[in-house]
């Protein structure tokens, strides 16, 4: 199973690291790209540039984004329609 992770804030970073410890973490995305890139270097997973790019690398996607408006923004940006 490959797990993609979206949202590497205070809670999400630890959750993603725990997935890595179980050899499940495949791809990460964060609104601050440097956080995703740092975790990718640490774990060997893939840091993607667009949130929609997590899906092809994952069987399951976990999203850890707290504020309602931020959740909607992430969902809207991952939309496949033009």
Whether residue 51 is contained in a domain is answered as yes
Return the CATH number at 21: 3.40.50.720
pLDDT value at position 10?
92
Whether residue 69 is contained in a domain is answered as yes
Could you tell me the pTM of the whole model? 0.89
Beta pairing, strands 60-63 & 25-29:
unpaired
Query: For the chain, how many structural domains are there in total?
Result: 1
Whether residue 20 is contained in a domain is answered as yes
The pLDDT tens digits for 6-28 are: 999 999 999 999 999 999 999 99
Report how far residue 81's alpha carbon sits from residue 74's, in angstroms, rounded to the nearest whole number: 14
Query: Degrees (nearest 5) of the Cα angle 75, 1, 55?
Result: 25
Structural domain boundaries enclosing 41: 3-77
Whether residue 82 is contained in a domain is answered as no
- Contacts of residue 28, defined as CB under 8 A and 6 or more positions apart, other chains included, come to 4, 5, 6, 8, 16, 36, 39, 40, 45, 46, 47, 48, 54
């Amino acid at each position: 199973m490959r797990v993609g992770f979206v949202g590497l804030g205070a809670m999400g970073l630890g959750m993603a690291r725990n997935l890595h410890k179980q050899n499940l973490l495949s791809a990460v995305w964060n609104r601050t790209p440097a956080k995703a890139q740092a975790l990718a270097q640490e774990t060997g997973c893939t840091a993607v540039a667009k949130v929609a790019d997590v899906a092809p690398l994952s069987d399951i996607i976990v999203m850890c984004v707290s504020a309602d408006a931020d959740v909607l923004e992430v969902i809207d940006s991952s939309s496949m329609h033009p």
